[in-house]
Amino acid sequence: MAPLVELAPAKLNLALEVVGRRPDGYHDLATLFQTVGLADELYLAPADELTLECDRPELAGESNLALRAARALRTQLGVEAGARLTLRKRIPLAAGLGGGSSDAAAATRGLTRLWGAAPGRDELIALAREIGADVPFLLWGGRALAGGVGDELEWLPDGPEAYALLYTPTGAPADKTARAYRALAPSAWSDGAATRALAADGAADLASAPNAFESVAERLFPGLADARARLLGAGAPWARLTGSGPTLFTLFPGRAAAECVLARLGQPARSWVAPTLPRLPDWLT
């Protein structure tokens, strides 16, 4: 049997507001998610054991979210079969693009197919929440308004295709999101109204959409201000943070304009043009 292939697309936070701190220490959000076509590739083949190989060897351990999702799904389904997972990374690490969470979602989709399983939707979403807050959205992708810690979802109609220019100017530590939340003052919290308004208006101008982490990002990522200036100087109409950073993004209605700015930016190892993606067809039967 030829291996199954699942793409694990990156996500953008088109808007992100931190609404407040929860009793459990996590934060409530209002965020507008969108998947884009920069994607990791996950190959799945039948095997006796459940294993993961990765072209980034440091990611092949038990803490990999794709392997954690696979083990959790096998336990939930009561399946005895294994699988050999082979992960090819394209999404930069710890960049605000949700690569690890998307790998977990891809493993869940792929193993459901490989094992011929029929998990319940609610059970599957609950399992995804345990792996990571972004994983439920990335099971289907497209565009969605999210609340809670990012796991309470209202899927929205797919908008017209646009092209995102992504620029990850620097690396970041694996715990950069926790650092960002610790650095964020309550004065940066808001009520989520701006994000909900953007979600309601499919043609909204995202240039001034909120991201609470903009208030701390330049302290967390030295050189980010220069990177933003470089992106704007290359012709980007605006440049905003996705997630807690350090990736900056902007959007264009057509590929040609995005590719032109990409060429002027001159950072081929750190920048990409990727189309927005529609929601996946329902793969649960």
Q: Is 89 a catalytic residue?
A: no
Place of tokens 């092209």: 163
Residue 11 annotated in active site: yes
Inter-residue contact 141 to 208 (CB < 8 Å): no
Query: Of the listed 40, 134, 151, 176, which one is catalytic?
Result: 134
Q: Which residue has the tokens 């920048």?
A: 271
Q: Please identify every residue annotated as catalytic.
A: 11, 134
